[in-house]
Amino acid sequence: MRWFWIDRFDEFVRGKRATAVKNVSLAEEHLHDHFPGVAIMPNSLIVEGMAQAAGLLVADAIEFNRRVVLAKVAAAEFYFDAVPGDTIRFVAEVIDLKPTGSLTKVTSTIGDRLQGEAELFFAHLGPGEGVPKLFEPEELLRWLDQMHIYDIGRDEAGQPLARPDW
C-alpha cells in the first residue's frame, strides 16, 4: 500500500521551504485501532507527515535524481495531541543540503498553536544502494500534480516551478 500523509501543499519554494496540510478525520482507522476508545493521532504518524512534506521538498531540490529516504529523526518533541477535526499544518525547511544527505526542520501546528517540531535527516541514495524502487517517476509526477505542487510551487526568485518532463 502506498499513501501520502498530507492532503495538499499550500506553499512550495524549491530547496527552501514547503507548507503542507493534513486534515485529521474520524474516518481514519488508525484513530480507532491505536488507542481504543481515545481518538487521537499517534505522534509517529505526525512524524510521517513531517517526513513526507520535507522529503518531497528535498527530492525536488535534488531534481529527483536520487532516492530520498528518512534516515534519522534527530530530535522530535510534541506538545499536545491532534484529534479528529484538527487541521495539521506542516512547515518544512531545508537546513543543510549535501549530495549524500540533507537536514530539515519541520514544525506542526494546529490553528495558531505549535503542536510539534522535529529535525529530520534524509539520506540520498542511488540505484543499487539498498533501497528498492518504490514507484516509477511518472507515477510520482501524477501524485505531485494531484497535490498541486506545480500550481503553487516557486523557485527562490519567485518564478513558478517547471514541471519535469519525465
Alpha carbon distance 20, 130 (integer Å): 29
The per-residue pLDDT of the chain, averaged, comes to 88
Which domains are assigned to the chain?
A: 8-154 (3.10.129.10)
Give the C-alpha separation, 166 to 156, whole Å.
Answer: 23
* Greatest alpha-carbon span in the chain: 49
Catalytic residue among 30, 32, 34, 148: 34
pLDDT tens sequence across 117-137? 999 999 998 876 666 666 666
| Residue 37 dihedral angles phi and psi, to the nearest 5° | 85, -10
pLDDT given at position 129:
64
> In what side-by-side order are the strands of the sheet with 17-23?
67-78, 113-125, 101-110, 87-97, 17-23, 8-13, 153-154
- Written in H, E and C, the secondary structure of the chain is CCCCCCCEEEEEECCCEEEEEEECCCCCCHHHHCCCCCCCECHHHHHHHHHHHHHHHHHHHCCCCCEEEEEEEEEEEECCCECCCCEEEEEEEEEEECCCEEEEEEEEEECCEEEEEEEEEEEEECCCCCCCCCCCHHHHHHHHHHCCHHHHEECCCCCECCCCCC
Residue 23 reports pLDDT greater than 90: yes
* Catalytic status, residue 34: yes
Q: What is the pLDDT of residue 2?
A: 58
Please state, in angstroms and rounded to a whole number, the distance separating the CA atoms of residues 13 and 60: 10
pTM as predicted: 0.87
